Amino acid sequence: MRVILGGFVLGAPQPGDGDIAEKRPPVFWGRGAEDRVIGVPAIDRTADFLPGHSTLVERIYPGLAHGISKSELDDVSAFIAAQLAGDS
């Protein structure tokens, strides 16, 4: 399980990419719709990468810049709880 908040994947292939694609771990990717720190190319690259390398839950928060909102934390909490419940 992975949680990415306002983050992105690198532009070059990484040594573990094949392993990640094979395992397809659950990933929560949350970001603000108004984020001016993470550029469009990085967002697009991540949006292309994650669906083929993970079991993706993606959330975009309107009005949120490069930060974390209560609603995002609530979604992360629900994602983690669901993953832990599935591991039982």
The model's confidence at residue 68, banded by pLDDT at 50, 70 and 90, is very high
Across the chain, the runs of DSSP E, i.e. the strands, are 2-5, 26-32, 55-61
pTM higher than the cut 0.85: yes
The model's confidence at residue 88, banded by pLDDT at 50, 70 and 90, is low
User: In this model, does residue 63 exceed pLDDT 90?
Assistant: yes
Residue 86, pLDDT score: 87
The model's confidence at residue 22, banded by pLDDT at 50, 70 and 90, is very high
Enumerate domains of the chain plus CATH numbers.
Answer: 2-87 (3.40.50.1820)
